[in-house]
Amino acid sequence: MRILLQTLFLLMTTAAFAQQGNDSSRTSLDEVVVTATRTPRSMGNVAIPVAVISSKTLYQSGSLRLNDILAEQTGIQVIDNFGKGIQVQGLSSEYTLILIDGEPLIGRTAGVLDLSKVTVKNIRKIEIVKGPSSSLYGSEAMGGVINIITDRAGQNKTDLGLRYGRFNTVDGNLNFSRRFNKTDIAASLNYNQSKGYSLKPNAVQKTVEPFRRSTQNLSIHQQLGEHWKAGASFRANSSHIDNTIFVQNLGSTIASKGFEKNQENNFTPYLQFNREQKIKSTLRGYLTGFNAVQELAVKNATGGYDDRFKQLFARVENQTDWQMTANAAFTAGAGIVRETVRSNRYDSASTLRMNTIAYFFTQHEQKISAKLTMIGGLRFDANQAYASVWSPKIALQYKAAEKLKLNLSYGRGFKAPDFRQLYLNFTNLAAGAYSVFGSEVAVGEIKRLSAAQLLDQTTALVGSLSALKPEVSGGLNAGLVYTMNASSQFTANIFRNDLKNMIVTDVIAFKKNGGQIYSYFNLNRALTQGIELGAQQKIGQWIQLNAGYQFLYAADKEVLQSIKNGEVFQRSLTNGQAYRMSLSDYGGLPNRSRHSANLKFNAENTKGYFSTIRLIYRSRWGTSDLDGNGLINRSDEYAKGNLQVNTSMGFPVNTHWKFMAGVDNLFNYKDIQFLPGNPGRTAYIDIQFIF
């Protein structure tokens, strides 16, 4: 009750804070998006689920890193596992492609791209596409695409910002943009650091270690004549994390120091031809490298880390767009990708793993009538390591009435096994001596350990070790957009993703020293399905209300059938007795919340004064099996659901200075075991200077 009263007080404060406001936070159907079709289209004319986060929303929310703002979006969950990863429509991080200005970010750990390394300070907008997008983007876009679009060059602006928050968190940024005749130049710098924090009082080891990050961007664009344009962009990102581990030795606690360093650099040149908005052809190159080093030595003990990882991704691609008629548009493209990896987790740091992918894609958009529009797309990927893959997609939009639009889309997605799932050969001596072997090396390593008499026993899964198959999915989305008036809008979308050959990890053996051995397998069938609802309402002249809800059901189809056949048992939490499991007991795939919702209030007046309150709810989610059947089915196998409240307010001091202050996690919710990346209540102040 106290939390509810405090929240109501904050809502009333928001309402009283602004007068004579504008409609600044409402997403307009006229917003132009490019990610959904790889061509500029109004949001209202796109037949697949797409959302846009504007630069104003990014600033007023007080978000620092990409994971901060994505955690507040409907249907997206941020998961703490090898960094800040995400789920989209119940699909894990490795199924969502992350782009910056249309180019992929690399450097994943266990399939997770850590979004906390991406600053939002120079972002113009973020476009989120949900559902299979492999027909345009290939592997890793099986669940969707998130495209981070940075500031335009040539805007003639310079601004400087500084933010300070709890745990000595400092974030500074500098953005510069100028136009010189026909040359546009933009540059940005960002520095972010924290002293870390501990969720356990008086603990000697911190929950999150101190870190520092920096990002530099530079882009140059040159008009070469009436129809030609060329340019290039450069981006560098680096991070340093202090690692400390405490071990007991002869009755005393010894602190061993280590570090983790990540460095990413990319270069993107392009040449573009554009003739009277009828034909546009772009030749683009992309070269990016990721280098990670992690070292941690345990003093006077066996174990530690010495990990080296280098990844190089090179691509050349051409895309041509042809506006055939007023009612028809055609897009075609082709490219080739060369990817290499060196890592001492893949046998040795001197071993080079490589793969080449050649591909082409086409898309045709046809306005069949005044009410019906169809988009069809197809992509072919020739993967050197696997059989060729075709990825089709079709989308329909029907304008049933002036205020009502109906959307329907179906797409086929795929994801090829990555280097980690194929060649990983890693043993963690500092954390229980467990090992993880890729599918290509697991059989040989099991034979080696058995010959050395280091194995205690193997599981039945050893006999199932085989070459991994690419994961494939079929994704269906059906929804509607109802625009009641200029102030009100309602959206609904039903989705279902059927997955085949889903890659999972499981235990294949136990060592005599107690360590477990894991490897990768194809799961025959799985599904994620649910519904997303959204509403936008302008209240009076100064308050904008946004609400969203997702219901999600994610399950292993083989398990569902086994439960129906009465073949699955569970143990009682009270007396330990075994009994048959019912479908209602099955919690589905782990780390998925059945219910999630958000409610956001924004108030802003004509003078630039604003305040926001955002309520983010997530229901309980399964964590681990405790009764030995390998499934989530008991109440003690769940993490608790939670409500997080974030708030911010700000105003312009004058034409050059802007001030903002806020509190994230206002009611200080903590979960040391399952949410270690949530530090509790965090207050901050932010100052921006505009030249």
pLDDT in tens, 119-164: 988 888 999 999 889 899 988 888 899 999 988 777 788 999 999 9
The total number of residues shown for the chain amounts to: 691
pLDDT for res 258? 80
Q: Which residues pair with 41 in a beta bridge?
A: 33
* Domain presence at residue 334: no
The top-scoring range by mean pLDDT among 79-88, 160-169, 565-574 is: 160-169
Across residues 610-614, what is the average pLDDT? 96
pLDDT for res 460? 78
Instruction: Please calculate the CA angle 678-664-157 and round it to the nearest 5 degrees.
Output: 115
* Domain presence at residue 209: yes
- The larger pLDDT score, comparing residue 314 to residue 81, is at 314
Q: Residue 635 corresponds to which tokens in the numbers above?
A: 């109440």
Across residues 75-102, what is the average pLDDT? 88
* Domain presence at residue 166: yes
Closest CA to 39 of 321, 271, 278, 275: 321
What single-letter DSSP state applies at residue 208?
B
pLDDT for res 250? 52
pLDDT-derived band at 687, boundaries 50, 70, 90: very high
* Domain presence at residue 445: no
* Domain presence at residue 405: no
- The larger pLDDT score, comparing residue 333 to residue 434, is at 333
Does residue 348 surpass a pLDDT of 80? no
pLDDT for res 347? 66
Closest CA to 673 of 616, 626, 623: 623
Q: What is the mean pLDDT of the chain?
A: 87
Burial class, 269, CB count within 10 angstroms (exposed 0-12 / middle 13-18 / buried 19+): middle
* Domain presence at residue 175: yes
Does residue 628 surpass a pLDDT of 50? yes
Q: Which residues pair with 170 in a beta bridge?
A: 164, 193
* Domain presence at residue 167: yes
Closest CA to 239 of 256, 215, 257: 215
* Domain presence at residue 79: no
Would you say 260 and 293 are in contact if contact means Cβ atoms under 8 Å apart? yes
Range of the domain at 667: 155-216+661-691
List CB contacts of 611: < 8 A, sequence separation 6 or more: 13, 14, 17, 18, 602, 603, 647, 648, 649, 650
Q: Which residues pair with 444 in a beta bridge?
A: none
Alpha-carbon gap, residue 343 to 308, rounded angstroms: 5
Looking at residue 449, its amino acid is L
Q: Residue 394 corresponds to which tokens in the numbers above?
A: 């079709």
Q: Residue 164 corresponds to which tokens in the numbers above?
A: 């300070």
Q: What is the number of domains present in the chain?
A: 1
List CB contacts of 617: < 8 A, sequence separation 6 or more: 595, 596, 597, 598, 641, 642, 643, 644
Would you say 355 and 385 are in contact if contact means Cβ atoms under 8 Å apart? yes
Does residue 682 surpass a pLDDT of 50? yes
Q: Which residues pair with 232 in a beta bridge?
A: 220, 269
The SS3 assignment for 116 reads: helix
pLDDT for res 677? 83
pLDDT for res 524? 77
